[in-house]
Amino acid sequence: ELARTTHGFVGADLAALAREAAIDAVRRIMPKLDLEARTIPPEVLESLSVERDDFLAALKRVQPSAMREVMVQVPNIGWADIGGLDNAQMKLREGVELPLKDPASFHRLGIRPAKGFLLYGPPGTGKTLLAKAVAKEAEANFISIKSSDLLSKWYGESEQQIAKLFSRARQVAPCVIFIDEIDSLVPARGNSMGEPQVTSRVVNTMLAEMDGMEDMQSIVVIGATNRPALVDPALLRPGRFDELVYVGTPDEAGRAHILGIHTAQMPLEADVDLDRIARQTERFTGADLEDVVRRAGLSAIRKRGSEVSAVTREDFDEALEDSRATVTPEMEEEYARMKGELKRRA
Ligand code: ADP
């Protein structure tokens, strides 16, 4: 089993794996093991046996050298760090968090969880945050790639990179694979002059990997895009990215929530009214609001220097003067139109 699950490990990686597993086994018996002391009492050594779980735990920590490019993370962002987006959060809780945490129940009821989710919407609305948060809350690992990096850095090798990505995800499952800018996975010149678009080899490799994912394998792929119109329709067919989740600009309550999150560490003067700021920031994304908070803080430092103790309403007013929503009403309309369009295409 270990030989099968250590694809991409060279000899030195396997040696590290064995060592890490052994350390885990010792720690189970001696939680306070002092590795520096290098002394393990003989009675501990005698009762020591390295178990399957020790190897599985070690497998998640030892990074195989042939897969150095695939970074496994354990995100530290949770639901509490996200404001608004209630609908998207609910869909990800039910569709990703629950099945990853409790696959047995889904199996028992014969429910097949979705393999792929597509988060779409304007930039800075929290798509990456959502993907990280659902991985953290599901106690899953997180592997993320940007499609444009995949195509440029690994030119000609992108298919092998995709294979490595999925292979590593299987090793560290449960795992969320996050593919940002998934619209970029289209052939460079496939759709010019109205020719039908050709599905790229990279997309085909990814689809093959997803088709090959057995149910209950505890891997979920989350794609994100600001340009849903450009996503290869092959990715949207059933069994692939069949859950489409719109991540839009927050409403007033959502904005107040986001402002609260981003000012949590900031001393505020009593005259600062976050609800009022939320009313003044229509169409602002989470990233725009974070920027307002940052500017207000900078304004406070600029004006009061080392005397500064708190950020005032005036600081926020100045920050608001310099800020505007990155999303225009036209963009919102376009996304709303795409919602219907995507459903038809899928
Ligand atoms: P996207 O992936 O949609 O382009 P990100 O998730 O990368 O956007 O958001 C960029 C930054 O903006 C985040 O790191 C966070 O600080 C802030 N942000 C965006 N949306 C939210 C939100 N809903 N709640 C809290 N912070 C947010």
What are the tens digits of pLDDT across the range 67-92? 777 788 889 999 999 999 999 999 99
In this prediction, residue 194 carries a pLDDT of: 46
Alpha-carbon span 104 to 122, nearest angstrom: 36
Centre of ligand 1 to C-alpha 14, Å, is 38
Report percent pLDDT > 70 for the chain. Answer: 92
Q: Are 244 and 87 in contact (CB under 8 A)?
A: no
Is the pLDDT at 192 greater than 50, yes or no?
A: no
Centre of ligand 1 to C-alpha 23, Å, is 38
More confident residue, 342 or 259: 259
Q: Are 255 and 284 in contact (CB under 8 A)?
A: yes
Residues with CB under 6 A from ligand 1: 82-85, 123-129, 224, 258, 261, 286-287, 290
Alpha-carbon span 118 to 236, nearest angstrom: 8
In this prediction, residue 255 carries a pLDDT of: 97
Dig out the tokens for 128 from the structure: 């990456």
Best probe residue, ligand 1, of 290, 326, 335 (max atoms within 8 Å of C-beta):
290
Alpha-carbon span 153 to 162, nearest angstrom: 13
**CB-based burial, 89-123: b 16+ in 10 Å, e otherwise:** bebbbebbbbbbbebeebeeeeeebbbbbbbbbbe
Centre of ligand 1 to C-alpha 302, Å, is 26
- Mean pLDDT score of the chain: 88
Distance, CA of 165 to chain centre: 14
The atom of ligand 1 lying closest to the CA of 180 is 2
Centre of ligand 1 to C-alpha 129, Å, is 6
In this prediction, residue 38 carries a pLDDT of: 66
In this prediction, residue 196 carries a pLDDT of: 47
| Upstream peptide bond of 187 is cis (omega within 30 degrees of 0) | no
In this prediction, residue 216 carries a pLDDT of: 62
Q: Are 312 and 300 in contact (CB under 8 A)?
A: yes
In this prediction, residue 34 carries a pLDDT of: 63
pLDDT band at 346 (very low <50, low <70, confident <90, very high): low
pLDDT band at 65 (very low <50, low <70, confident <90, very high): confident
pLDDT band at 96 (very low <50, low <70, confident <90, very high): very high
In this prediction, residue 36 carries a pLDDT of: 62
